[in-house]
């Protein structure tokens, strides 16, 4: 029993990332006070299992073929479908007051205790969300550590996007390369289905009615909280993430006679198409990388319009302590793991390191 009125919360994610990132992710949320970090390992390997299973507060579910059979069928082909299946299983099993579903490259930043923030919400509020931010690099400061960089905020005016990003402005949404809807804290015990950004009614009929009425929208913002999206832990990681997503869904697009990724924002769809169509052209890839690795001029423009947040996110020391391992958390080592896992793909498409 808790001795003071603070809400409990659990973090859940479906992951297939190098173990150093997963250790940092788990340590970060445990440090913030999460009761449990529930990780569904989408591609379980012995090293990752060995490291994470030794961390107190981490719960692992291994997404093997046997696991998928046990939960009702074969492994879903699409990444998003696997995430949703796991998220809803995690929500159903969650014993905390609140459930937070996010990705391994999304790190919560708060000005005070998360449980206290959640505890102060109206009892009738079923879900809410932090505001979105993204980590970016500067060309003038080459990345060394995995968590180097600065944090850009959303831009609310198209003119500001054009001022900062110029010809690349169609590839950002409110100044961000990724999503702006955020991820949600969902109160447990509700008749809700977890979706990627916010939950929907358990009844599909009710969901359709609310959608038709324009009442299916993200929840209100949780005060004093930001969700920082590391949209690519390194520039190589960003390119590889987009490429793999494109290759996973391109056959479906072709079969349906579509050219855009309707489940993604127009900006993200443009990024996906442009990276794939670059065909390994170094100049084109370098141009696209300016979306996350800003030129000095872009940095200066963002500074002039108060486009950066003053946040500090570096869970590396805690991750080393909790995992009991001397991990480097260097960008070079992270990229080395990516090359070992996806070297053929990286070489075939000429991705830049």
pLDDT value of position 77: 84
pTM listed for this prediction: 0.94
Detail the DSSP E strand segments found in 89-158. Answer: 98-101, 106-110, 127-138, 150-153
pLDDT value of position 259: 66
Q: If you average pLDDT over every residue of the chain, what do you get?
A: 94
| Alpha helix (H) residue ranges in 186-315 | 204-212, 235-256, 266-277, 282-289, 296-304
Structure tokens at 171: 């590839």
Residue 272 is given by DSSP the state H
Structure tokens at 70: 């046990």
pLDDT value at 12 more than 50: yes
- What's the pLDDT tens digit per position in 184-211? 999 999 999 999 999 999 999 999 999 8
pLDDT value of position 63: 98
Dihedral of alpha carbons 150, 318, 4, 2, sign: positive
| Band (332; pLDDT cuts 50, 70, 90) | very high
- What's the pLDDT tens digit per position in 241-255? 999 989 988 777 777
| C-alpha–C-alpha distance, residues 197 and 64, integer Å | 26
CB 188 within 8 A of CB 99: yes
pLDDT value of position 5: 64
């Amino acid at each position: 029993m808790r001795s003071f009125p603070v809400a409990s919360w659990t973090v859940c994610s479906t992951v297939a990332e190098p173990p150093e990132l997963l250790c940092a992710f788990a340590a970060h949320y445990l440090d913030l006070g999460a009761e449990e970090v529930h990780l569904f390992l989408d591609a379980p390997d012995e090293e990752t299992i060995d490291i994470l299973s030794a961390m107190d507060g981490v719960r692992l579910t291994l997404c093997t073929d046997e696991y998928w059979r046990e939960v009702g069928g074969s492994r879903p082909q699409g990444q998003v479908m696997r995430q949703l299946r796991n998220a809803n299983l995690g929500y159903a099993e969650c014993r905390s007051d609140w459930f937070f579903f996010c990705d391994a490259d999304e790190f919560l930043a708060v000005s005070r205790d998360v449980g206290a923030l959640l505890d102060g919400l109206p009892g009738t509020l079923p879900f809410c969300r932090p505001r979105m931010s993204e980590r970016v690099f500067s060309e003038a400061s080459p990345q060394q550590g995995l968590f180097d960089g600065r944090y850009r905020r959303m831009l609310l005016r198209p003119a500001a996007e054009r001022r900062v990003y110029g010809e690349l402005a169609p590839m950002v949404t409110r100044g961000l390369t990724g999503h702006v809807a955020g991820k949600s804290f969902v109160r447990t015990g509700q008749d809700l289905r977890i979706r990627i950004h916010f939950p929907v009614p358990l009844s599909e009929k009710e969901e359709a009615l609310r959608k038709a009425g324009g009442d299916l929208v993200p929840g209100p913002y949780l005060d004093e909280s930001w969700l920082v999206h590391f949209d690519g832990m390194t520039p190589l990681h960003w390119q590889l993430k987009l490429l793999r997503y494109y290759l996973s869904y391109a056959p479906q697009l072709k079969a349906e006679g579509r050219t855009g990724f309707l489940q993604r924002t127009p900006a993200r769809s443009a990024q996906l198409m442009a990276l794939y169509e670059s065909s390994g052209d170094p100049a084109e890839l370098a141009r696209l990388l300016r979306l996350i690795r800003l030129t000095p001029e872009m940095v200066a423009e963002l500074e002039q319009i108060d486009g950066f947040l003053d946040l500090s996110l570096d869970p590396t020391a805690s991750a080393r302590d909790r995992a009991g391992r001397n991990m480097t958390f260097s960008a070079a080592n992270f990229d080395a793991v990516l090359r070992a896992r996806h070297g053929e793909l990286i070489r075939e498409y000429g991705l830049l390191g």
